[in-house]
Amino acid sequence: MELQSLNFEFQILALSSLIILSIGLLRVSTKFGIPSLLIFLTIGMLAGSDGILKIWFTDADLTRKVGSVALAFILFSGGLETDWEKVKPVLWKGISLGTLGVLFTCFFVALFAIYILGFDPIIGFLLGAVVSSTDAAAVFNVLRTSNTGMRKGLTSLLELESGSNDPLAVLLTTSVLGFVGASAPSWEVLAWTIVQQFSLGIILGLLLGYWIYRGMNRIKLDYEGLYPVLLSASVLFVYASTDLIGGNPFLAVYIAGIIIGNRSFVHKRSNVRFMDGIAWLMQIVMFLTLGLLVFPSKMPSVAILGIAFSVFLIVFARPAAVFLSLIGFKVDWREKLLISWVGLRGAAPIILATFPFAKQLPESEMIFHLVFFTVLTSLLLQGTTIPFAVQLLGLQAALEQRASYPFEFENKEQSDTQLLEYIVPYGSASVGKFVYELDFPENSLITLIYRGDSHLVPTGKTKMEDGDVLLVLTPEGAEKKIREILSRMGEKKEA
């Protein structure tokens, strides 16, 4: 049965059933260490034309549009939860991986596709561009559901890279496609397009992110439920306006998310939770749609080619790009190996693989299924072995808790008081100290401690423990001192 031919009620029933099934199987993916994105893709394939439900879906252009909007929300949510204080120490490493890493990967894969696999140069560079970025959805998802902690800074670096390298991959893909046909741009035009896309993407991301933050605090809405609606509409506004002006929309929404997420605004915690839910919904819808679009019966025809392509990408292209991109930075070789292994491919390459359909390339279907095969290989091989790789390389660390609190603090624009979250690092000199012994700034108050699965209301005689999550009510400007106090390493105070 063709999806478009079903009446509206059956379409809604099919979509809702697949989403419910996907969410229900999340526990299975967590329990057995299977990337949840692989579960979503599999459900989509089983429901598709070659699967059990035989739902016929071939609209590549609709898939591209749905995937682009979904990716915008995923990137915004990732930026919203990015702690700038954790990102700053790894900022330039992340930028290098997000730019040079993408270029090196594209170049190495293109050469392999052209000279070893025998592809036409345009198709070779197109394949290189499509698979050149790690996928934000896949990396965010696996890092947050694998229950494995990594050495300080690695998680932030990997999330920063995966959130910032999609824009260049999109630009490379569209640029290569621009050389197909008689209207191929000159190198000068291409260079200017790259500069324009990135400069406008950065500027608009910064400006619009700041304006959204200011607007969230200034507007006085009578209904709290309207704030998530306003924030969601703002994401679409940033994406569409940046794209229309000629900037890179994915870069803009990611930067806007970082700007907003690192400031205090009205109903922040509930809005962050809402956007996290939207990001999950977008991941599920995106991967289900991509699963429906693929024809599993055509996968065997690209299997041998796909295995060679995937092995080269995982074993050579990605590690070489990482090591070259991090030249000049003080990064341990084991960390470089882990960064190489966590270079997951996910929805972004598959979405980019739908772009050639718009150009009506004869090889469009082959490119799509080859890339899809590569993504499956990456999720199966790399996604399921991340915890093992972390332990094998000796880079494991205690997993930082993500706290949930039983109340909401509403910030007022005229007030400089903030409710901020701090984690007591493992090995901190603060561990073992009483609350009254912490030299916190004046007027700073620890209102709640999240420890394990419990919420503690502290007193002056409450002792700090490794991994405690502190909710601190503090005046603006005191954040840095509190962070410095908690981050000091030293001997734990004995009881």
| Residue 494 resides in a domain | no
| Residue 407 resides in a domain | no
Assess whether 472 and 372 both reside in one domain. no
Tokens linked to 372 = 């899809």
Q: What CATH number does the domain containing 473 carry?
A: 3.30.70.1450
Q: What CATH number does the domain containing 51 carry?
A: 1.20.1530.20
| Residue count (the chain) | 495
Q: What is the pLDDT of residue 205?
A: 94
Assess whether 172 and 24 both reside in one domain. yes
Assess whether 311 and 457 both reside in one domain. no
Assess whether 360 and 423 both reside in one domain. no
Tokens linked to 165 = 């390298």
pLDDT tens-digit series, residues 95-152: 999 999 999 999 999 999 999 998 999 899 999 999 998 876 666 666 666 666 677 6
pLDDT tens-digit series, residues 354-397: 888 877 788 888 888 899 899 889 888 888 888 888 888 888 77
Distances (CA, A) of 121 to 18, 105, 113, 162: 40, 16, 8, 27
| DSSP code for 248 | -
| Residue 404 resides in a domain | no
Where in the sequence is the domain holding 423, given as residue range(s)?
417-487
Instruction: Output b/e per residue, 266-286; b: 16+ Cβ within 10 A.
Output: bbbbebbebbbebbbebbbbb
| Residue 211 resides in a domain | yes
Assess whether 225 and 288 both reside in one domain. yes
Assess whether 384 and 424 both reside in one domain. no
More confident residue, 378 or 421: 378
| DSSP code for 151 | S
Assess whether 464 and 380 both reside in one domain. no
Tokens linked to 272 = 């962050």
Assess whether 121 and 198 both reside in one domain. yes
In the predicted structure, residue 449 carries a pLDDT above the cut 80:
yes
Assess whether 229 and 317 both reside in one domain. yes
Assess whether 158 and 250 both reside in one domain. yes
The identity of residue 372, as a single letter, is F
Assess whether 387 and 452 both reside in one domain. no
| Residue 401 resides in a domain | no
Q: Which helix (H) or strand (E) holds 149?
A: strand 149-150
Mean per-residue pLDDT of the chain: 83
For the residues of 189-214, what is the DSSP string, one character each? HHHHHHHHHHHHHHHHHHHHHHHHHH
The pTM assigned to this predicted structure is: 0.78
pLDDT-derived band at 235 (thresholds 50, 70, 90) equals very high
Question: Is residue 160 exposed (0-12), middle (13-18) or buried (19+ Cβ within 10 Å)?
Answer: buried
- Total number of domains constituting the chain: 2
pLDDT tens-digit series, residues 173-191: 888 887 776 566 666 777 7
| DSSP code for 56 | B
| Residue 200 resides in a domain | yes
| Residue 23 resides in a domain | yes
| Residue 402 resides in a domain | no
The 10 Å Cβ neighbour count of residue 100 is 18
CA separation for the pair 81, 273 (Å, rounded): 10
Last residue of one domain, picked from the residues 339, 359, 393: 393
For the residues of 410-478, what is the DSSP string, one character each? ---TT--EEEEEEE--TTBTTTT-BGGGS-PPTT-EEEEEEETTEEE---TTPBP-TT-EEEEEEETT-
CA separation for the pair 461, 433 (Å, rounded): 9
Assess whether 89 and 219 both reside in one domain. yes
Q: Which residues, other chains included, contact 356 with Cβ-Cβ below 8 Å and sequence gap of 6+? A: 126, 177, 363, 364, 367, 368
Q: Are strands 469-475 and 445-451 parallel, antiparallel or unpaired?
A: antiparallel
Q: What is the pLDDT of residue 401?
A: 56
CA separation for the pair 76, 219 (Å, rounded): 21
